[in-house]
Amino acid sequence: MDSTHIHKTAIIDPSAKIGNSVVIGPYSIVGPQVTLKENVQIGSHCVVEGRTTIGKKCQIFPGAVIGGKPQDKKFTGSQDVSLEIGENNCIREYVTINTGTVDGGGKTVIGDHNLLMAYSHVAHDCIIGNHCVMANSGTLAGHVTLEDNAVVGGLSAVHQFVRLGRLSIIGGCSKVVQDIPPFSMCDGHPAKVYSVNLVGLKRAKMNLKSVQILKQAFKILFHSGLSKTNAIERVEKELKSTPELEQLIHFVKTTKRGICS
């Protein structure tokens, strides 16, 4: 039985696709190209526009603007671009998320089980994985990638084209202008690598041996004074290979903006 509830003051375009058991609060607006999957909950005074798809069981709190046009001067407004949001995401008050741009691949993508706290911003062409957290007023510029389980501290700003590796965490009020390696704890203005994200690795139930190898790798890569090439060679020569270590090495080798030092 369909238990969809749309408040009488909400404005829903007739061509929007609304799934079963969707709740839309007072004074919210849903545009013509929007798709809301089952059990989506939208609070009051929200705007969902653009070619936007929101997956099952997402919660959107009052004042959020989802699927707005990119804040990019090159954007013409007539481009076929989109925003894709997965399932079980919690999008808190006054969050803003923009669609993609043609030059950036055409879409912004957010995975599953993410928490975007109040006033955070996701710009055009960003890719966010699963189980990520953006604390209050965290800001992603265009083309930023967050790998799974990444955490962005409150009031932090991430430069365009930067990558945040899996299970990394950025302290509050940080300025992030280069890639953040997986499994790291970073902080500062600009952000620097301080240590392995031990709390995050423990929560992820990573085995102790893998954590110890990562700690040794971090000492060589970020605290030995060696060049990136020489540090990688030493890590590959001296440390036993694990999936986590291989992921870390691949991330460092493939950086385009450089790695936080």
Q: Catalytic residue among 124, 148, 154, 165, which?
A: 124
Q: Catalytic residue among 31, 50, 142, 165, which?
A: 142
CA angle 84, 86, 88 (to 5 degrees): 145
CA quadruple 48, 120, 166, 232: dihedral, nearest 10: 130
DSSP 13: -
DSSP 181: P
Per the annotation, the verdict on 124 as an active-site residue is yes
Q: What is the largest CA-CA distance in the chain?
A: 66
Per the annotation, the verdict on 105 as an active-site residue is no
The burial of 248, by beta-carbon neighbours within 10 Å (0-12 exposed, 13-18 middle, 19 or more buried), is given as buried
Distance CA 2, CA 25 (A): 17
Token pair, residue 112, equals 């599953």
Outline where the chain has alpha helix (H): 198-203, 208-223, 228-238, 243-253
Q: Catalytic residue among 55, 112, 121, 125, which?
A: 125
Q: Are 246 and 182 in contact (CB under 8 A)?
A: no
Per the annotation, the verdict on 223 as an active-site residue is no
Question: Active-site positions?
Answer: 124-125, 142
